[in-house]
Amino acid sequence: MPIPQSDVRVGGIYSAGNNQERRVTKIENGRVLYESRSGKEPKSDWGIEGSPTKANPPTLATFAEACSRVIYLPS
């Protein structure tokens, strides 16, 4: 089940498919820039390599649809 778009915030960490974690770094013009890492232990470093976020960031709706759980939500 997707997360609500209102829960997508800069600094938030979310669980996505394939045991991936995503951390939002910027929301600009309705697009979400994020870093990702493996959710498996031991956790890898955050990075954008292999992520579409740099060249073609997803829309807020697409990002929320791809995420299934909020791990951390900043105040």
Question: Can you tell me the distance from the alpha carbon of 21 to that of 69, in angstroms, rounded to the nearest whole number?
Answer: 10
State both tokens at 6: 């209102």
Residue found under tokens 């997803």: 58
41: left (phi over 0), alpha (psi -120 to 50) or beta: beta
Q: So what's the pLDDT on residue 63?
A: 96
- Mean pLDDT score, 9-26: 94
More confident residue, 65 or 52: 65
DSSP-derived pairing of the beta strands 20-28 and 13-16: antiparallel
In total, the chain counts a number of residues equal to: 75
